[in-house]
Amino acid sequence: MRVIIRKNAQAACVTAARLIASLIHQKPDAVLGLATGGTPVNCYAELIRLHRCGELDFSRVTSFNLDEYVGLPREHAQSFYSFMHENFFNHVNIDPSRIHLPNGNAEDLTKACDEYEQSIACAGGIDLQLLGIGSDGHIAFNEPGSSLASRTRVKTLCHETIRDNARFFGSEAAVPRLSVTMGVGSIMDARQCLLLVTGEKKAAAIRSAIEGPVTSQVTASALQFHRFATAVLDEPAASWLSRKSHCDFAESSMPDPDEILR
């Protein structure tokens, strides 16, 4: 796994955005897998800035989001549908017909999950999947114990995730208990995976994901098996890595993503 370490969260988010922008420059009809949460907001802000500067065109891009809460109306302020439109889609020229999010309100959730997988396949697969990580090392809503071969499905949230997301809902009681999420197997099918993580609170999870054993108890650890996985971290998130100095040394010989559009 390529590990890029930046001084602070803003710099890490800019680097992640530049990697995404580079893909779109190379492939204007790229298929992006997108993530929600506090961490990617500044990454999306940089992509919006590049678009407004005329450096990035999303008109042919297709997107698939990782997950959505079950039973939360799309217009709810904390739905991932609302999050993505507020923080990204409403500010770039992506074609609304090319935007895809899991349907957490489908009458038949199992069928909706199968159709989501089929839609990804029909689009030619995901070129780059943006990811965050939970404090327990999960990716998307693939909680500890999830099958590393799992596909898009309904998943029960664990207490740690409910606790972490309570700040968005005002209380733990208000957080939905179920989600629709891409599986680990679905994520691993992406041609590239981009893990963006900031903050010391995620340092233990990052150490487990990057340097620990591959295990279903830390679903992000499956990325160790991905052929083209990149982790972009800020210094606090990288602070528990035992091989941090080697990551810095190895990265010094690689092209700098921040120079891509300069």
Banded model confidence at residue 262, pLDDT cuts 50, 70, 90:
very low
Q: Which residue has the tokens 């580079």?
A: 22
Residue 170: CB atoms within 10 Å: 10
Taking only the tens place, the pLDDT of each residue in 175-187 is: 999 999 999 999 9
Residues 112-141 have a mean pLDDT of 98
- Determine whether 160 is an active site residue: no
- Decide if pLDDT at 36 tops 60: yes
The tens digit of pLDDT for each residue in 53-76 reads 999 999 999 999 999 999 999 999
pLDDT band for position 260 (cuts 50, 70, 90): low
Comparing 4 with 246, the larger pLDDT belongs to 4
Which tokens go with 48?
């919006």
State how far Cα 70 lies from the chain centre: 19
Q: How far apart (Å, rounded) are the C-alpha atoms in residues 214 and 223?
A: 9
107 belongs to the catalytic site: no
CA distance 113 to 117: 6
The pTM of this model reads 0.95
Q: How many CB atoms lie within 10 A of CB 257?
A: 21
Decide if 189 is catalytic: no
Q: Which domains does the chain show, CATH number per domain? A: 2-259 (3.40.50.1360)
Q: Is 246 a catalytic residue?
A: no
Q: Strand 62-65 vs strand 99-100: parallel, antiparallel, or unpaired?
A: parallel
Q: Which of 46, 68, 143, 164 is catalytic?
A: 143
**In angstroms, rounded to a whole number, what is the distance separating the alpha carbons of residues 168 and 186?**
27
**Distance in angstroms (rounded) separating the CA atoms of residues 205 and 197:** 10
Q: Which residues, listed in sequence order, are joined to residue 232 by a DSSP beta bridge?
A: 4, 196
Q: What is the mean pLDDT of residues 121-131?
A: 98
CB 246 within 8 A of CB 18: no
Which listed residue (46, 51, 67, 226) is catalytic?
A: 67
Alpha carbon distance 201, 236 (integer Å): 8
Among residues 46, 127, 138, 164, the one annotated as catalytic is 138
Q: What is the pLDDT of residues 188-214, one digit of tens each?
A: 999 999 999 999 999 999 999 999 999
Select which of 46, 68, 136, 189 is catalytic.
Answer: 136
Q: What is the pLDDT of residue 259?
A: 63
Nearest CA among 161, 227, 236 for reference residue 206: 236
Torsion of CA 49, 50, 51, 52, to 10 degrees: 50
Q: What would the pLDDT profile of 219-239 be if each residue is shown by its tens digit?
A: 999 999 999 999 999 999 999
